[in-house]
């Protein structure tokens, strides 16, 4: 009986292990940046929460692609909601932020041309997903069509700030990693 692993099997195992480690790292970075670097806005409704969790999320999506972006966003921010006592938000966050990460990664992977423009468009798409997604999540949670408008400024600031941080450094990080 030969217990040696073929070179092909070893390569696949290393690749899967690397993917798991990178996903876990970005889940943790997204969770920590959301949990510890945030400001609650005193606006009607949930008011919005400004945090830097979108920074590692966008980096994960741009550098490692749509799957890592989706996993980092869905689980990192979903865990934040569960840990922080906002469990009612967790299913919405899982879907909305997972979609944000997926779309940012998809646009970044598939679009040729000026990388700064591509990354800016990817962040703009994430902004639309976040604003629309959380608007309807609040409509469902609060049963009110007006109250959710109070969270839109915070959601916009959150994504714009992350975009300002990530877009200029994303290409350098991608080349470095």
pLDDT at residue 34, as a whole number: 94
**Those residues with Cβ within 8 angstroms of residue 134's Cβ, 6 or more apart along the chain or in another chain:** 92, 96, 148, 151, 155
CA distance 138 to 109: 31
Q: 72-113 pLDDT, tens per residue?
A: 999 999 999 999 999 999 999 999 999 999 999 999 998 888
Angstrom distances, CA of residue 16 to CA of 20, 32, 98: 6, 24, 21
Q: Which two tokens stand for residue 139?
A: 């409509």
**pLDDT averaged over the chain?**
91
pTM check: above 0.85: yes
CATH number of 7-176: 1.10.1760.20
Percent of the chain with pLDDT over 70: 90
Q: 98-107 pLDDT, tens per residue?
A: 999 999 999 9
CA distance 63 to 171: 8
pLDDT at residue 70, as a whole number: 98
Q: Kindly indicate the confidence band of residue 48, based on its pLDDT and cuts at 50, 70 and 90.
A: low
Nearest to 66 by CA among 109, 119, 111, 116: 109
- Weakest-pLDDT range from 16-30, 58-72, 105-119: 105-119
pLDDT at residue 38, as a whole number: 82
CA distance 31 to 75: 8
20-39 average pLDDT score: 95
Instruction: Tell me which residue has tokens 């940046």.
Output: 33
């Amino acid at each position: 009986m030969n217990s040696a692993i073929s070179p092909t099997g070893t390569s696949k195992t290393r690749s899967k292990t690397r993917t798991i480690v990178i996903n876990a790292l970005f889940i943790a970075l997204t969770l920590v940046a959301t949990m510890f670097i945030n400001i609650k806005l005193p606006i009607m409704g949930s008011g919005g929460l400004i945090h830097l969790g979108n920074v590692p999320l966008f980096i994960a999506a741009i550098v490692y692609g749509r799957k890592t972006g989706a996993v980092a966003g869905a689980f990192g921010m979903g865990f934040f909601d569960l840990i922080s006592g906002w469990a009612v938000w967790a299913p919405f966050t899982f879907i909305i932020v997972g979609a944000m990460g997926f779309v940012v990664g998809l646009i970044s992977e598939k679009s040729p041309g000026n990388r700064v423009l591509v990354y800016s468009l990817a962040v703009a798409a994430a902004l639309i997903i976040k604003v629309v997604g959380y608007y309807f999540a609040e409509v469902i949670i609060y049963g009110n069509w007006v109250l959710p408008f109070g969270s839109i400024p915070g959601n916009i600031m959150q994504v714009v700030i992350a975009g300002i941080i990530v877009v200029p450094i994303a290409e350098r990080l991608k080349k470095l990693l």
